[in-house]
Amino acid sequence: MPHIDADSSFGIGTPIAGGLPNVVVEYPLPYTLLSLGRYAQLLGVSPLHFWGASTPALNPVVFPITDCSSVWFQHDWQNSDQVSREQVVNVIAEAEGEIAHLLGYWPAPVWLAHEEHMFERPYDRQYFGNGLNIRNNYKSVAAGYGRVVEVGQRAVTLVGTATVAGASLLYTDEDGDGFYETATISLPTLLTDPCEIKVYCTGQLGDPDWEIRPIRKKRISGGILTITLDSWLLIDRTLYELYPTDLGPMAIDVSTTANFVVSVDVYREYTSSILPSATFVWASSEGSCSVCGGTGCNACAASTSTGCALIRDASAGLLAPTPATYDVATGTWTADSYSNCREPDYVQLWYKAGEIDQKFLRGLTCEPLSIYWAQAIVWLATARLDRPLCSCGNVQAAVDWLREDLALSEGGRSHALSLSLIDNPLGTLRGEVMAWKRISKLATKRMNVALT
C-alpha cells in the first residue's frame, strides 16, 4: 500500500504510527491457452513443488523436497537464481502469439474484441459504397484470424460460490496418506453443458486471469454440478506474494488445509447472443450533417451503430457484418439499415476463433487445446527460459536439451540442418526448431478468398 504524504507540496508527511499495515496484494498471472498446471505436467515437474508447496508435517512426507528438487516461486524477485511461474507464463504467452501469427489462427479458441477492419471501397474514390457486394449481400470482411467458432462477445454468468463453511467445497484425502490432494465443488444448476463452466478465484467477476485450471473432471447430474480438481490449485494466492526474508525462500506448508482457500466462484463462460458482434464506424459525421457549411456540426467525432456478424467462411475467417437491432421479444437480431445511409468507413468485430481438439468436439474432454499444440508450446517456451529450473535431473536434462543451439558448432560438436530450418522465423534452439517443424506443416497462408 503506498504512503501518501500529508503535505504533498513539500513532500513531507506524518509517519503512520506503528508502521505500514502488513497487507499482501494478489497479482494474477496472464491467461494463456496452455495452463501452468498442464505445462508442469507435460514437462514432468512435481506438481506440489511447482506451486511452491510442501508437506513437512506429514510422516512420511508427501512430495518430499530432495537435493535435486526445490519449490518454485511466483515472481523472479522472490528467488533470483531460478525460473519463476511468472517468467514461464510470459514465455508461454509469447510462444502462443507467435504460433498464432504464423498459422493465421490460434491453437485453441480465444475471444477477439474490438478488432478493426476497413471496409472495401469502390475503385472510383468519388463514390461511396452501399455495403453490398455484386450478389446484393452484405460485404465480407477478413477477420484477423481464421478458424472462427462463433461471433459475439465473451460473457460470464455466476453459477454460485462454493464454500468450505457451506460444505459445497470439500478437501479430501483419497488415498489415506495424510495429504488432502483432492478438492470437490458441488453446486445446484440448471445448466447442461459442463464445458461452459469455469472456476475462478472469489470476487474476481470471472476475469480469465483468475481462472483455476486444469480441472480433473466436471459433471452435471440430477441438477447438481460436481467439479473435481487438484487441491494445490487452491492454495491461498496471497501466500504467493510474500516477501523473501533472511531465512531464505520458504515453501508453503500444505500438510493441512489451513493454507487452501475457503471459497471459489463458479461461472458459466459463453458467447453472448445479445451483445453486438459488430460496431460500424463513420469517421466523420459531416456527410450527414443538415447544417449548410458544417456550422454546428461535431467535426471531429465519429458516429457509430451496432449490428451482428455472419460467418461466411469459418476456416478463412470471412465475416459479413450486418446492421441490425436486437429484438428482446424474439431473442433475435433484426436486419436494419446503415444509420448514415452509406456503408461505414470501418467496422469493429467481436468473435471467438481458434482450432479445437477433436477430443473436445467428440465430447471426451473439456480441454480444447490439443496435445499436438500443447507440446509445441512447451518446447518453444522452455527453450527460451533463461534461468535454471529447480527440478530433478530428468527435467533439467530435458530443458538443457531443448535449449541447445543447433546452429552453434563448438568443442567438436555440430549439427546438420537444412537452410529452411536454419532460417526458420522462431530461432535455432532445439525447442524452437522442433516447434517450427510442427508449425511449418500447417503454416500455409490462409486462402486468398475473394471477399464476397
Asked if the model's pLDDT at residue 206 lies above 50, the reply is: yes
Cβ(212)–Cβ(264) below 8 Å? yes
Q: What is the pLDDT of residues 22-54, one digit of tens each?
A: 455 678 999 999 999 999 999 999 999 999 999
Q: Stretch 214-225: mean pLDDT, rounded?
A: 96
Cα 313 from Cα 147, distance rounded (Å)? 9
Least confident of 52-61, 116-125, 230-239, 365-374: 116-125
Kindly list the domain boundaries of the chain, sorted by start residue: 88-104+359-442, 112-153+273-286+298-353, 156-270
Cβ(254)–Cβ(179) below 8 Å? yes
Query: Which residue(s) pair with 263 in the sheet?
Result: 163
Residues 6+ apart with CB under 8 A from 341: 288
69-83 in b/e form (b: 16+ CB < 10 A) is bbbbbbbeebbeebb
Query: Which residue(s) pair with 239 in the sheet?
Result: none
Residues 6+ apart with CB under 8 A from 51: 72, 232, 233, 235, 252
Q: How confident is the model at residue 279 (pLDDT cuts 50, 70, 90)?
A: very high
Decide: helix, strand or coil at residue 104.
coil
Least confident of 31-45, 254-268, 384-398, 419-433: 384-398
Query: Which residue(s) pair with 199 in the sheet?
Result: 266
Q: Stretch 405-410: mean pLDDT, rounded?
A: 78
End-to-end Cα, the chain, rounded Å: 56
Q: What is the pLDDT of residue 264?
A: 98
Cα 265 from Cα 163, distance rounded (Å)? 9
Cell of 23: 497487507
Sign of CA dihedral 199, 201, 202, 205: negative
Residues 6+ apart with CB under 8 A from 158: 206, 265, 266, 267
Least confident of 17-21, 38-42, 356-360, 365-369: 17-21
Asked if the model's pLDDT at residue 142 lies above 90, the reply is: yes
Q: What is the pLDDT of residues 146-169, one digit of tens each?
A: 999 999 999 999 999 999 999 999
Task: Please give the full DSSP string across 46-102, using - where no structure is assigned.
Answer: -HHHHTTEE-TTSSSPSS---TT-----SSGGG-TTS--HHHHHHHHHHHHHHHHHH
Phi-psi region of 161 (alpha: psi -120 to 50; beta: other; left: phi over 0): beta
Cα 146 from Cα 448, distance rounded (Å)? 12
Cβ(407)–Cβ(436) below 8 Å? no
Decide: helix, strand or coil at residue 341.
coil
Residue indicated by cell numbers 468485430:
349
Instruction: Say if strands 303-313 and 278-282 run parallel, antiparallel, or are unpaired.
Output: antiparallel
Cα 197 from Cα 211, distance rounded (Å)? 11
Q: What is the pLDDT of residue 246?
A: 81
Inter-CA distances, 426 with 98, 100, 114, 116, 443, Å: 8, 12, 28, 27, 13
Beta strands in 216-283 (DSSP E): 217-221, 224-230, 252-253, 263-271, 278-282
Q: Stretch 302-329: mean pLDDT, rounded?
A: 91
Instruction: State CA 240 to chain mean position distance.
Output: 20
Q: What is the pLDDT of residues 231-251, one digit of tens each?
A: 999 999 999 998 888 877 788
Cβ(135)–Cβ(377) below 8 Å? no
Q: How confident is the model at residue 2 (pLDDT cuts 50, 70, 90)?
A: very low
Q: What is the pLDDT of residue 447?
A: 43
Amino acid identity, position 21 = P
Inter-CA distances, 286 with 21, 60, 122, 344, Å: 56, 78, 20, 13
